Amino acid sequence: MASLRCFLRSGRNAVSVILRREFHKTSPAALQVTVRDALNQAMDEELERDERVFLLGEEVAQYDGAYKVSRGLWKKYGDKRIIDTPITEMGFAGIAVGAAMAGLRPICEFMTFNFSMQAIDQVINSAAKTYYMSAGLQPVPIVFRGPNGASAGVAAQHSQCFAAWYGHCPGLKVISPWSAEDAKGLLKSAIRDDNPVVVLENELMYGVPFEMSEEAQSKDFTIPIGKAKVERQGSHITLVSHSRMVGHCLDAAAVLAKEGIECEVINLRTIRPMDIDTIEASVMKTNHLITVEGGWPQFGVGAEICARIMEGQAFNYLDAPAIRVTGVDIPMPYAKILEDHSTPQIKDIIFSVKKTLNV
């Protein structure tokens, strides 16, 4: 079950290169949809469904989106609903939050989440906390979305993962889709949600095609926020991951299966609120846990999972300490060889599994 991979680089003027991969469900005539198109569909459907929904951000309208995620939307919906902003994150994020407070349902795009740091006060203090501070008087139905985490060759300032930062704050929901179905279903849920939702996409996944079931092709297909998905059943060890790393885990599982090690792979889908129940149930079955993420180790997503497992019923079922596989604790370097060694590779996951299982 070896899978060929040629790595795609989708820059600003992206023309996707198809990444071939094996799929777990076989359906010869199934529809192949890239993550990018799934996100596009989600926004298109929600814009059509509710006229209060609108999109704003840099290059989202006339440029069709910096990564072409909003391709065709401006042509279809016009200036009123698809708004190009100047390069002023703090300003336009605040404007988006204010519009949400006054009854609209904005989708605020950050070209990458690295730029959201300029606007993070508006996301946390103006959006996340307001419903609580007003004791229920003022909801904020807003979506902040954009690519998160490492890309390829964009260096330190453009490669940070914000899952842990946003996942830290009460009042926010944070989702991190992996597949095309995830992307479509979760983004639709986020737009329909009456609360602030941060959607952490991944630039390297935009061009990756996935099989889209018939159910997922429906205009009302949503995936509930706060529920993880078991992507692969296994009995020896649980691998928990989110976003692009889910693919790495599945690839590692495929290699390990040849050696008789069956990994259960869980796709978190939502960072906050985290579905710890699914993880616990899995650990109680497999007795071993590894978390895999692209972000830095300290105070990260994996750290939270391990802490919760310690505090919960699954601890008694662990046969080995739960460990984390994470990005290296450094700013992202540029040179390809260095960059490749800065985030978990499939061999790192395999190595960690074997260490944990003591094989």
Active site positions, annotated: 89, 158
Residues between 307 and 346 with contacts to another protein, criterion CB under 8 A: 311-312
CB of 123 to another protein, least distance (A): 11
CB of 277 to another protein, least distance (A): 11
d(CA 82, CA 234): 45
CB of 286 to another protein, least distance (A): 22
Peptide bond into 273 cis (omega under 30): yes
x/- contact string, 157-176, with another protein (CB under 8 A)?
-------------xx-x---
Residues between 257 and 286 with contacts to another protein, criterion CB under 8 A: 273
Residues between 35 and 54 with contacts to another protein, criterion CB under 8 A: 54
One residue of 4, 137, 258, 298 binding another protein per CB under 8 A: 137
Asked if 29 interacts with another protein (CB under 8 A), we say no
Q: Which stretch binds another protein (CB under 8 A): 124-132, 244-252, 326-334, 338-346?
A: 124-132
d(CA 271, CA 167): 6
List helix spans (H) across the chain: 35-49, 73-77, 89-101, 120-121, 130-133, 163-167, 180-192, 244-257, 276-286, 301-311, 336-340, 346-357
Cβ proximity to another protein: between 273 and 333 the closer is 273
One residue of 74, 110, 131, 162 binding another protein per CB under 8 A: 131
One residue of 57, 65, 141, 344 binding another protein per CB under 8 A: 141
SS3 57: strand
Q: Which residues contact 52 (CB under 8 A, 6 or more apart)?
A: 103, 104, 105
Q: Yes or no: say if 303 and 297 are a contact pair by the CB < 8 Å rule.
A: yes
Pick the closest to residue 27 from 165, 215, 167 (CA basis): 215
Strands 289-292 and 237-241: parallel
Q: Yes or no: say if 265 and 275 are a contact pair by the CB < 8 Å rule.
A: no
One residue of 30, 31, 117, 125 binding another protein per CB under 8 A: 125
d(CA 39, CA 45): 10
Cβ proximity to another protein: between 87 and 338 the closer is 87
SS3 143: strand
Binding residues for another protein, rule CB under 8 A, total 44
Cβ proximity to another protein: between 92 and 144 the closer is 92
Residues between 72 and 101 with contacts to another protein, criterion CB under 8 A: 80, 83, 85-86, 88, 90-101
Could you list the residues that contact another protein (CB under 8 A)? 54, 80, 83, 85-86, 88, 90-104, 121-122, 125-126, 130-139, 141, 170-171, 173, 194-195, 273, 311-312
